[in-house]
Structure 1
Amino acid sequence: MERTNKSSPVGFILLGFSDQPQLEMILLYVISVFYILTFVGNTTIILISYLDPKLHTPMYFFLSNLSFLDLCFTTSIIPQMLWNFRGPDKNITYIGCMIQFFVALGLGSAECVLLTVMAYDRYIAICRPLHYTLIMHPRLLKQLAVVIWISGFLESLVQSILTFQLPFCSHHKVDDFMCEEPALIKIAAVDTTFIETELCIASILYVMMPLGLILVSYGCIARTTLKIKSTEGRRKVFGTCGSHLMVVTLFFGTVLIVYIQPKNKYTQNQSKFLTLFYTVVTPTLNPMIYTLRNKDVKGALGRLLG
């Protein structure tokens, strides 16, 4: 039986793709490029949303929050990931793992809530346009922003306390490239039925429920859109909602696959690539999706560039 360490371990070993060093070197350069694009793209969205008066609307208030969230999310994960991809040293300190776990999970949970609020904003704009400015007033926007950030990190705090109270196996080898809850639970040296049940409940509250509310919002939007007789009117609605729908599909699609699929060795490798997708690729694509599909953002960018 595996010897356990009842006290806090000195650190963990993030295995990542250590059995494929050539793949890690390729990922080192590819992810570095993605990180630069993420930083530039999301910073641009934040700046133009702040500097251009025409974008001082609820939609762009939430979009700038999404960009800031993605910026923080990738920064909490990618630097450590790139460091581990450099060579055989895959270590992360116990405190470093705790911090990464807490921050990344908090930001990921907050993004689930934020995407739900953005869907609600689109619902009000399209289904109740005459009441839009009355409902989405500045005070409500600030209150929603507070709820988004606090709810995300409250859930993360609970998960962090429960996870890091577990005694871990003495090898401390985490079969992932980041400190993620499913991977840490696997190296626990005790029965994890309770925490797995709690994780399932948290997934329902922060993934399934937000996704359900988003689908309800877009169901109402679709019903309203079908009543619009003009083709131009329908095109405008699709243009307004298309970017958000693409972001929701990319983010929730990969998260659901990672957390639902059976956990065997084959799907574990698949899970790593899918985790890479929503931690690295999606935050890079988000600003591109909103920029390329949005005339307001392209117009604001053009005005700022002179």
Structure 2
Amino acid sequence: MTSPIPSLPTAVPDAPDFVVIDVETACSRVSSICQVGIVGFRDGREVMAYETLVDPRDEFSPFNVGIHGITAGHVTGQPTFGEIHAVLDGHLSGRIAVAHSAFDKGALAAACRLSAHPLIETEWLDSVRVAKQAWPQLSSHRLNVLARFLGIEHRHHDALSDARAAGMVIVKAIEHTGIDLKGWMTRPARAKPKPPLPASEGPLSGERVAILGEALDGKLAAAVAAAGGRVVRSVGMTTTLLVIAKAQPYGRWVEASPMHRRAQELREAGRPVAVVSEDALRARLGRAT
């Protein structure tokens, strides 16, 4: 039995100042949206919520299922992305739309293209960027970390809960900094830190090192450069080492990160990319001195 297509949103007196969208995907293709959550906020409080499962007409990879728990069986009879496009457009079009990182924006655009529907026109605000400027002292600005830090109730990798939490990050950032929504929309992003220059020689000479879990101007990057290694922003064909910063607990988030997944792809293709913990790297450097 096919589920009814959600009806179009109707205008309400409490129209949101901004809406937040989060999506979950069925596999590595970002177009494979299998769940959507949207929450609207006005004057610092929630005024609307919308959630639906989506049949992505794509495979469900064990990796993605392990993250969000949604399987092919859960979306049987649910609407396709094309069938909810008008609903999403009604909630988002012409409004400020918040997403935690660029992933959801990219997934929405990819699903629009795949389903031959027009892109949804909205002004985007990245809650990761806001959080990094509001709380620069945090070593991670992942949504579950922020939720714990800010005391936000949150069930990670549930689209509606993620959207609600990301919206509260914006609300609390406004309260914390005094910068209003318009200010955050016009506030420039922090300049990206530059990697330190490598020493002319050392135990890491010739190594091209990517670091996951710490900024390029952090202590680990400085140690790599002092040992002669060249710190790079991302994992590429010439990367020889991916280091997992110990400031971050090794877990599913590491395996899900683009840097780690790219390193695994290169290793499977026969490229000499080593993946090590910060402790292992520092032990190697200690033995070399």
Fold shared by both chains (TM-score > 0.5)? no
Q: Higher strand share goes to which structure?
A: 2
Between the two structures, name the one with larger relative contact order (CA 8 Å, sep ≥ 6): 1
Output the TM-score relative to the length of structure 1.
0.26
